[in-house]
Amino acid sequence: MTTKPFSYLPIVLRTDQRDALLVGGGQVAVQKMRLLKGRCRMIHIWAETLHPELAALVEQGQAVFRQGRVAEDALQAVLPDMALVFAATDDEAVNEMVARQAHALRVPVCVVDAPALSSFITPALVDRSPVQVAITTGGASPVLARRVRQMVEAMLPARMGEAARFMQKQRGWLKDRLPGMKQRQRVWESFVDGPAYEAALAGEEDRAREQLEQLVAEAEGEADCPQGEVWLVGAGPGNPDWLTLAALRLMQNADSVLYDNLVAPDVLDRVRRDAERVYVGKKRSHHTLPQSDIEAEMLRRARRGERVLRLKGGDPFVFGRGGEEMETLLAAGVPVRVVPGITAANGCAAAAGIPLTHRDCAQSCVVVTGHARADGTLNLHWPSLARRGQTVVIYMGLSSMAELCRKMQDHGLPESWPVAVVHRGSCADQRCVTGTLGTIAEDVRRQGLQSPVLIIVGEVVHHRGEVVQAVPGYSTSKESA
């Protein structure tokens, strides 16, 4: 029988001015004590016997020991003074009683290995105090949480806590120098991204302070007219694991983000939470904003000092109108950064296990748009597309697929020429339909594929392989007509 998973809200709870209760005195209680030690005013341990490590804590005056079996009436008197309580005994009846009383008095309680009785669970913790990283799977798999903790431990510098304490000491005078929160935020971002942070990590506080003061002086010089800029960033085909490191960094530093319907929700979740999000997506026959208005919005925001992230599916310079936007911005004197992304052609083909080139059948690859004119016609150079020995990748061709296939046959390719249509390549709901120029339009209609799709035409489709994606659950199973 399957049960609905519990829902948890990760929070950071202040406990330095409150006491905590630990019911139990064995090895499991020791593990919970290690979490509480140094994080609350006093630890109250209620147990019949004490593990030596708990006894040592009591001798050091960091814990109070109450010996004996937990009595329900006595527990009712103690609980209201506690910030939280752990029930860590090997007696299920005692654990259930502690949980019941805690719930009644609205005191947060964790019963070890019994999430159904608990109002909170403890995460796997990476401690670089005052920096702490909590990792939880919502109780689904503590082993997985520990594995993630190992990965995070390897990523974070051992002396990160020292750098954090240095930054904390500078907050007062920095607020006096730069009253504007946005200015201070930019200074800290520049600090963390540059050599000043490395100096703080190394414990070289004088050098770190000198470089921080230089950043502040630069920010004061821009106080009246802060310099905004626009970042044209490729979000890739949809799988968030395929974002570039540069894209992730800018996504965390942007003040606002303009995004379209090709940016997957999982990718948008990587944008920092307090950035303003503006949807400017375009769908067939429905434009949320005309292109000129999108460019005007980027200009408006950059001129008032914002760092504007223009997040585009795939790559901004491959059918993303990034070139037009760059020219408009530069002509207006707005600085522009461009971060490429994995193109839809590369990403969708790879996700579907289709090589774009192959020495046996495709010595070149042509990328075109299948977007039709207003009158429904396609203005493509058909003789150069309908050739053997190459792969043709077609963007935005779903609505024109029947005409695309017909034109390619009219210009020399056989009806049996292989075609693949990839829907939401690299994403969890990816689908791939394979067929031929003579059948694919009907195959896709019958399968009910919707935009966005990518069309791959050529003998490379015959070389399609079953590939394992970077994220478990991302499937490339074949759906041939």
DSSP letters of 93-106?
HHHHHHHHHHHHTT
Buried b (16+ CB within 10 A) or exposed e, 241-260: ebbbebbbebbebbbbbbbb
Q: Give the pair of three-digit tokens for residue 393.
A: 């990748």
Of 260, 312, 315, 443, which residue is the catalytic one? 260
Do residues 22 and 43 lie in contact, with contact meaning Cβ atoms separated by under 8 Å? Answer: yes
Mark whether 282 is an active-site residue: yes
Helix (H), strand (E) at residue 175: helix 160-177
According to DSSP H, which parts of 314-413 are helical? 322-331, 344-351, 382-385, 401-410
Q: Give the pair of three-digit tokens for residue 139.
A: 């109780």
Of 91, 127, 182, 282, which residue is the catalytic one? 282
Nearest to 467 by CA among 362, 310, 351, 328: 351
Q: How far apart are CA 405 and CA 413, in angstroms?
A: 9
Q: Give the pair of three-digit tokens for residue 176.
A: 């006096």
With tokens 């974070």, the residue in question is: 156
Q: How far apart are CA 198 and CA 208, in angstroms?
A: 8
Cα three-residue angle 400-403-408, rounded to 5 degrees: 120
DSSP letters of 184-250?
HHHHHHHHHTSHHHHHHHTT-HHHHHHHHHHHHHHHHHTSSS---EEEEEE-BSS-GGGS-HHHHHH
> Would you please indicate which residues are annotated as catalytic (active-site) residues?
260, 282
